[in-house]
């Protein structure tokens, strides 16, 4: 069995991010739920706007895992292996302008409704969220304050930000031309 590194999983999350439709109002983010000890370690993947409803990458991965197990997203943590971790190209959001539940809250729900050791207890991030849409993102602090470890995986920051802001650059260039 091949051992995957944190870089490997972050690269897979980046591949998911590349599937996101570029828009000036969203970041293109990818996320992967992983259970390193499982025979098939990738439990679910997601990317921004993959599912209907202005969805974020983490939200899509959690929803897809819940749907695959025929359980509500609210209780998805109860069916996760104890070593489930989340890889996401960008720090989970703590504020949603759309009114959707922030991804930080979704991650914390996996721990609240699942028993002592289940749910997502580690989140690996590629970059912090830029302050463009909601100002300073307090997602990392909120997760850490709740006992979820947040770990930066270095080395892909430039590539992640280029993918994340693909729709922004084009929109800003168009505005400058007008």
Q: Which active-site residues does the annotation give?
A: 58
Helix (H) or strand (E) holding 65, with range, is helix 57-68
Q: How far apart are CA 175 and CA 178, in angstroms?
A: 5
Burial pattern 16-40, b for ≥16 Cβ within 10 A else e, equals bbebbebbeebbbbbbbbbbeeeee
φ and ψ of 135, to 5 deg: 75, -150
């Amino acid at each position: 069995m091949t051992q995957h590194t944190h870089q490997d999983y972050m690269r897979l999350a980046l591949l998911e991010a590349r599937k996101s439709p570029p828009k000036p109002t969203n970041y293109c983010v990818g996320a992967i739920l992983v259970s390193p000890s499982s025979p098939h370690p990738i439990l679910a993947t997601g990317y921004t706007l993959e599912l209907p409803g202005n969805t974020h990458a983490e939200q899509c991965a959690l929803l897809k895992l819940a749907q695959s197990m025929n359980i509500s997203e609210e209780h998805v943590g109860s069916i996760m292996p104890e070593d489930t971790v989340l890889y996401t190209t960008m720090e989970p959001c703590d504020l949603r302008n759309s009114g959707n539940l922030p991804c930080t809250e979704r991650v914390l729900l996996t721990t609240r409704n699942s028993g002592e050791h289940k749910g997502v207890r580690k989140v690996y991030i590629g970059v912090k969220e830029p302050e463009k849409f909601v100002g300073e993102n307090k997602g990392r602090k909120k997760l850490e304050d709740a006992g979820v470890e947040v770990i930066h995986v270095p080395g892909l920051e430039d590539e992640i930000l280029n993918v994340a802001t693909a729709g922004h650059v084009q929109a800003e260039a168009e505005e400058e031309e007008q």
